[in-house]
Amino acid sequence: MKQDYSQYPRHLVAVDCIIFGFDGEHLKILLVKRNFEPQLGEWSLMGGFVGSEETADEAAKRVLNTLTGLSNIYMEQLNSYTEINREPTARIISISYYALIHIEKDFQLNENYSAQWFELQNAPNLIFDHNEMVKDAVLRLRRRASTRPIGFELLPEKFTMKDLQNLYEAIFSETFDKRNFTSKINGMDILVKTDEKDMTSSKKGSFLYRFDEKKYNKKISQGFMFKM
């Protein structure tokens, strides 16, 4: 016999996306300006409802693509937010995701959302419980970046060692000793040093590197552990 669920309450389910980027010095977050009530004109995470014919993951990918036009970017489900009065209009359960985008990629933000990048430390106050979502996302990003090379998702394909150090300092909000950082990264043997140089930092220039994903995956299969 088919179970009758009509006696139970029904809730709306949404996804909210915390989108991180890196400009070479600062960790940034992409926010949108809310274009409807409640809290019209306030800053918000990009979100949307889960459709009847899609999973939460599919909804999050659709929401990200709607804003950025991008697909196949690093994204991870973060948490669920179920406080009864988290939104004033209806009982809405939200599933949060965080995503990593290379800011300098060739993509166009959807003008309908008045989206803007903010330095994470200087980001405006957000609607509802979105500030809590961002705090949770930063903690998750730090945990992941300490055990996986996900930070490379925020860098261009080729980068200097200084770029890489700047990134990890931005993620962890701390300063690393240059010599120790370089030694640690080189010791992992997961980068390829190219013959190219970035000549913008000095007359001598700085060699460009790229992350070798195949080498990393092979080392992982042999028991290697990424640790920052």
Note the pLDDT tens digit of each residue in 102-131. Answer: 988 778 899 999 999 999 999 999 999 999
How high does pLDDT run on average in the chain? 95
Q: Based on the fold, state whether residues 121 and 169 are members of the same structural domain.
A: no
Q: Based on the fold, state whether residues 139 and 114 are members of the same structural domain.
A: yes
Q: Give the number of other CB atoms < 10 A from CB of residue 156.
A: 15
Q: Based on the fold, state whether residues 166 and 114 are members of the same structural domain.
A: no
pLDDT the model gives residue 105: 77
Query: What's the total number of domains in the chain?
Result: 2
Q: Exposed/middle/buried for 8, CB within 10 Å: 0-12, 13-18, 19+? A: exposed
Q: Which of 147, 178, 213 represents a domain boundary (last residue)? A: 147
Domain-located, residue 226 = no
CATH number of 123's domain: 3.90.79.10
The reported pTM is 0.94
In this prediction, residue 38 has a pLDDT band, given cuts at 50, 70 and 90, of: very high
CA 173 to chain centre: 16
> What CA dihedral angle connects 45, 49, 50 and 51, to 10 degrees?
-140
Is residue 201's pLDDT more than 80? no
Domain-located, residue 227 = no
Q: Based on the fold, state whether residues 114 and 162 are members of the same structural domain.
A: no
Could you tell me the residue range of the domain that residue 115 belongs to?
12-147
Q: Based on the fold, state whether residues 111 and 170 are members of the same structural domain.
A: no
| Rounded Cα–Cα distance for residues 48 and 99 (Å) | 15
Q: Which of 121, 147, 173 represents a domain boundary (last residue)? A: 147
Cβ atoms of 20 and 141 within 8 Å: the answer is yes
Q: Which of 147, 182, 208 represents a domain boundary (last residue)? A: 147
